[in-house]
Amino acid sequence: MYASYDAMGNMTCRNVDTTSSHGCDAAQSGAIMTYDNEGRLDTWVTPNGTVASDQYLYDNSGQRVLQRASNTVGSTTTTSDTISFDGFTDVTYHRRYNLDHQVLQCRWTKSGDAPGWHLLLSDARLLRKQ
State the average pLDDT over residues 102-130.
58
Domain interval for residue 100: 51-130
Q: 87 and 121: one domain?
A: yes
What pTM value is reported for the model? 0.59
Same domain membership, residue 70 and residue 9: no
Q: pLDDT digit string (tens) for 77-96? A: 888 888 887 767 778 888 88
Across the chain, what does the average pLDDT equal? 74
25 confidence band (pLDDT: 50, 70, 90): low
Q: Could you tell me if 85 and 32 lie in one domain? A: no
Q: Residues 8-17: contacts with CB within 8 Å, 24+ apart?
A: 8/35, 8/39, 10/35, 10/39, 10/41
Asked whether residue 36 falls in the same domain as residue 73, the answer is: no
Kindly state whether residues 14 and 45 are assigned to the same domain.
yes
Q: 41 and 58: one domain?
A: no
Chain-centroid distance of CA 112 in Å reads: 19
- Single-letter amino acid code for the residue at 116: G
Tell me: do 125 and 78 sit in the same domain. Answer: yes
Higher pLDDT, 18 or 11: 11
Number of domains in the chain: 2
Q: Which residue, 11, 33, 50, sits at the end of a domain? A: 50
